[in-house]
Amino acid sequence: MGFWWYEVRLAAGVASLALVAGWLVGRPSVGLLVGALVYAGWQGMRLLRLLRWLQGGRLAEPPELPGVWGELAYLAHSQYLRARRRQRRLGERLKRYEATAAALPDAAVVLGRDHGIQWLNEAACRLLHLDARRDVGQRVDNLLRHPDFVAYLHGGDYAEPLVLSGLVEEDRVLQLHIVPYGQDQRLLVARDITRMHRLEAMRRDFVANVSHELRTPLAVMAGYLETLLEGSLDAGQRQALEAMQQQTTRMKHLVEDLLTISRLETGELEERDAPVDVPALLRSMLEQARRLSGEKQHELSLQADESLWLLGHERYLYSAFFNLVVNAVQYTPAGGRIELRWQRCDEGACFEVCDTGIGIPAQAIPRLTERFYRVDPGRSRAAGGTGLGLSIVKHVLIHHEGELQVDSTPGAGSTFRCVFPARRVCGPNDPQ
């Protein structure tokens, strides 16, 4: 508060001097007026110096000013120092972020309004063949022109990444993801997944080849076992051969399921999408389910909307729906109820299998579509299950843009629901 005292003392000093001088000349009021003018002029000069200093922008060197003006200069100077320190800290942090982003193994490209490139890292130059100097400011869709990428960029649905080969190099597979942030800003991240893709293809080919190779020996074994079982055998021999036949049948089912999955995974489906008469398909499935239920005498029923057909692969849809029906028959005790429903729903169309069976614990539900996952392995094997049924269902639904939903209460029953989008729905009389 020293500067206030300085100002008070200064004002009082000037006023008393002016008063004394005025009194000496016999005009104290004139003396006071002159004193006030001198004081105002003096303050004006100091204000001018302060203004010049502020305007000059040399805030690092504060002027020597007494009183209030000195205090103001001191405050402006310390604010300036604080801002400079903050700026330096932010600058360092920004440099660190830039260095980190530049060193990322994944390509990162910052896109502004109209998909213009604002910044990119080294990996973007390498993976996307972009140039940090030449391409900043250019529209990314003018430089990366693959139609799938352009559609993804303009589509605006970035929930899932886009996997693409041939974006810049024919044999490089890239996973591209766009992350919107800030105002009209997007981060394009690209990862090279060529190796992973190749390994995945090798794994798929291996499973498909092994399954295919196993088919013939299994068919030969099954044939011989059948012939042997037709001959005269003692009880022990018959029991052994029947056990072998049972296991051979299980292996055949396994091989067929594995082949189905690998065909679905590679997308090598022989048929094209066509309108499928789902109600008719379900009627024949109901007959088969009745035969399968046999002695268990389940109460089986079907409700199907006759006008509701689906665009898809009949064979694979049958396989998926039948897996759900077989499971309901297998995991529902004798006399239980199994209902099949095919109807319209909010999303489009929905196939539902509802049983009053043993149910599934909540923690097992997310794992049901994993290959070979079984809630009770002993029970599944005894029932002849391969552990691949729901995995097949999942893949068939992926091909039909559908989704599997499961509700279950242990001891009370389960509902498996296949939900298909409206764009897949068609009617019996729709043109193909």
Residues of this chain that bind ligand ADP (CB under 6 A) = 323, 327-328, 331, 355, 357-360, 368, 373-376, 380, 385-391, 414
Give the amino acid at 235.
A
CB of 290 to ligand ADP, least distance (A): 17
The torsion of the CA quartet 75, 80, 86, 90, rounded to 10 degrees, works out to 160
CA angle 412, 414, 417 (to 5 degrees): 155
Residues 6+ apart with CB under 8 A from 7: 67, 68
Lateral strand order in the sheet of 309-312: 274-276, 309-312, 425-426
Q: CA end-to-end span of the chain, whole Å?
A: 90
C-beta of 238 vs 371, nearer to ligand ADP: 371
CB of 371 to ligand ADP, least distance (A): 8
CB of 247 to ligand ADP, least distance (A): 15
CB of 360 to ligand ADP, least distance (A): 5
C-beta of 374 vs 400, nearer to ligand ADP: 374
CB of 375 to ligand ADP, least distance (A): 3
C-beta of 248 vs 323, nearer to ligand ADP: 323
CB of 372 to ligand ADP, least distance (A): 8
C-beta of 31 vs 357, nearer to ligand ADP: 357
CB of 405 to ligand ADP, least distance (A): 13
C-beta of 152 vs 331, nearer to ligand ADP: 331
CA angle 191, 195, 200 (to 5 degrees): 110
Convert 354-401 into a string of H (helix), E (strand) and C (coil).
EECCCCCCHHHHHHCCCCCCCCCHHHHHHCCCCCCHHHHHHHHHHHCC
Whole-angstrom distance, CA of residue 173 vs CA of residue 4: 74
Q: Is 345 left (phi over 0), alpha (psi -120 to 50) or beta?
A: beta
Tell me how crowded residue 381 is: count the other CB atoms within 10 A of its CB. Answer: 13
Longest Cα separation, the chain:
154
Residue whose structure tokens are 């043993």:
358
CB of 427 to ligand ADP, least distance (A): 30
Tell me how crowded residue 386 is: count the other CB atoms within 10 A of its CB. Answer: 21
C-beta of 237 vs 405, nearer to ligand ADP: 405
C-beta of 229 vs 292, nearer to ligand ADP: 292
| Three-state secondary structure call for residue 240 | helix
CB of 318 to ligand ADP, least distance (A): 15
Are 336 and 359 a contacting pair, CB within 8 Å?
no
C-beta of 141 vs 407, nearer to ligand ADP: 407
C-beta of 260 vs 380, nearer to ligand ADP: 380
